Amino acid sequence: MKSNLLNIQGVTVLSKKTQKMVKGQKGVDISLCDCSCSGSVTGPIYCSWYIACPQVYTCQETF
């Protein structure tokens, strides 16, 4: 199987040192996270892992 992969154009064998430098995690964009007026976290699912919103209603405030 290894020999078949080496026949594909653009494939290179990584050394152990190079493998340690590879990061296998996608970056997280916190700028997509926000709070709704009801106090719930909005945005991608990971937003609730990074931010918390105050549990107060701020919708349609009248003074």
Q: What is the pLDDT of residue 19?
A: 78
In whole angstroms, what is the distance from residue 51 CA to residue 63 CA?
Answer: 29
The closest of 39, 37, 36, 34 to 51, measured between CA atoms, is 34
Q: Which tens digits make up the pLDDT trace of 12-60?
A: 788 888 877 777 666 788 899 999 888 889 999 999 999 998 877 667 7
- What local confidence, expressed as pLDDT, does residue 28 receive? 82
Statement: the pTM of the whole predicted model exceeds 0.85: no
